[in-house]
Amino acid sequence: MTTVIQNVRVFDSAGLSEPREVIFGDVLIADAATEAGVVIDAAGATLLPGLIDAHVHTVLGRVDLQNLAQWGVTTGLDMAAWPLEFVNAMRHEADVAQIFSATVPAVGPGGNHAKMPGFPADGVVTTPAEARSFVERRVADGADWIKIVTEAAPPAGMDQPTVNAIVQAAHEHGLLVVAHSITTGAFRVAIEAGVDVSTHAPLDAVLDDELVARMREMAMVSVPTLTMMEGTAQLFAARGLRYENARDSVVKFYEAGIRILTGTDANSAPGAPFGPKHGESLHHEFELLVQAGLTPVEVLTGATSLSADTFNLKDRGAVMPGKRADLVLVDGDPTTDITVTRNIRGVWIAGERVR
C-alpha cells in the first residue's frame, strides 16, 4: 500500500526542506504514479529518516525492539549479543526495529566483561593467534562488525599486540572495528591499534589533546553514549568517575571535527549496573549532545545519515527515493528545539506504520 504525507518538512543534514509531499510503499518513491492508499496532512510536522541508535543491546528480544520502534528508532546497532541463535532470531523480527550485530565481543581475560555471568569463553582473547581465530569465528557467525573491549593494561585487558591483531584481521575481512573504551588508558590502546569507531567516553579524565588529535587524523568516529556515562558516573562517583570528564571529552571531539554518532548503550540485562531504556534514551542522548555543543542538525545527522554511512547501511539513513521507508514524523521543528523529537506522531518501518 502507498502512503502519501503532504505539507511536511523533511530533515536532512542541511536542515529542513520547504513543505512538500513524500510518497512511499516499502521504499520511498519519487512520484505518485501509483494510487494512494493513505493520505496524511502533516502541516507543522517534520519527517525524519528512522532514527539509528548506534549502541544498543537486545537481551529481552522482541520487546526491546518494540520499545525502540515506539520511540522512532527503526535501526539498532547491537554491540554484543549471544548466543548466535538468539541474534539470528532478532535479525528476523518483523514490524519492529531492525538490528545489526557484533555478536560476541572480544575481551581480555581478567576484566569485568570476562567475569559477567554467562559470558561466552569464545570471546576471551589473550594472544595475537587467538585474535585471528576470534575474528574468523565472527566472520563465520555473520557479524556485521567486530566489537572489542579495550582496557588499560593486562591482565584485565588484552595486550596491545593482541588488540592490534584483531584490528588487522578484521580489516582484512573488510569489517569495521568498534572499541569500548571508558578510560584514557583504554582509549590509548584503541588508538594505537587503529580502531574505526570508539564507543563510550572517558570518566576518569578528559581525553588529552594528543589523543584527540590522533583520533582526528585517523578519522576515528565516536559514539560517546553520554546517557550511559551519566548513569555510570552517578553510580560510581565514589571511585572518582565524573560525567563531566566524558562530556568535556565530547566537547573536544566536536571542536576537533571528529564525527559523533548517537548511541545509548540501551540494555535490559537483569543485573546490569545501569540500563538506559530502549528508544526513550536516544532522545535523552540527543539532549546531552546538544548540551555538549552540537547543533540539533548535527545530532540528528549523527542519528541518521552519518550512522548509516559509517556502518555501511546503504539502504537507509535518508528520506530519498530508493531508500527503505523507515520514517519518523514529529510535531514541530527539531532543528531549533531538539526536545521536539519526543513528540512522535507516527513511525513507519519499511512502509508499515508501527502501532
Binding-site ranges for Zn ion (CB under 5 A): 79, 265
Query: β-strands 98-101, 146-149: how paired?
Result: unpaired
> What's the number of CA atoms in the CB half-sphere (13 Å) around residue 239?
10
Residue recorded with cell 504514479: 33
Rounded Cα gap, residues 349 and 74, in angstroms: 6
Minimum CB distance to Zn ion smaller for 86 or for 333: 86
The contacts found for 257-260 with CB under 8 angstroms, 24 or more apart, are 257/216, 258/212, 258/215, 258/216, 258/220, 258/221, 258/222, 259/219, 259/221, 259/222, 259/302, 259/306, 259/310, 260/221, 260/222, 260/223, 260/224, 260/289, 260/294, 260/298, 260/302
Cell of 122: 569464545
Bond from prior residue into 83 cis (ω within 30 degrees of 0)? yes
Residues linked to residue 127 through DSSP beta bridges, in sequence order: none
CB 79 to Zn ion: min, Å: 5
Rounded Cα gap, residues 307 and 315, in angstroms: 12
Residues linked to residue 6 through DSSP beta bridges, in sequence order: 41
Minimum CB distance to Zn ion smaller for 149 or for 193: 149
Minimum CB distance to Zn ion smaller for 55 or for 316: 55
Contact status, residue 110 vs residue 87, Cβ threshold 8 Å: no
Minimum CB distance to Zn ion smaller for 28 or for 77: 77
Minimum CB distance to Zn ion smaller for 64 or for 265: 265
CB 29 to Zn ion: min, Å: 36
CB 331 to Zn ion: min, Å: 31
Minimum CB distance to Zn ion smaller for 118 or for 174: 118
Q: What is the DSSP letter of 340?
A: G
CB 166 to Zn ion: min, Å: 17
> Which residues, 6+ apart, have CB-to-CB distance to 137 below 8 Å?
104, 122
CB 63 to Zn ion: min, Å: 18
CB 101 to Zn ion: min, Å: 12
CB 60 to Zn ion: min, Å: 15
CB 57 to Zn ion: min, Å: 6
Of all residues in the shown chain, the one whose CB is closest to Zn ion is 265
Minimum CB distance to Zn ion smaller for 3 or for 268: 268
219, 284, 288, 307: which is closest to 247 by C-alpha?
Answer: 288
Cell of 235: 553510580
Minimum CB distance to Zn ion smaller for 250 or for 330: 250
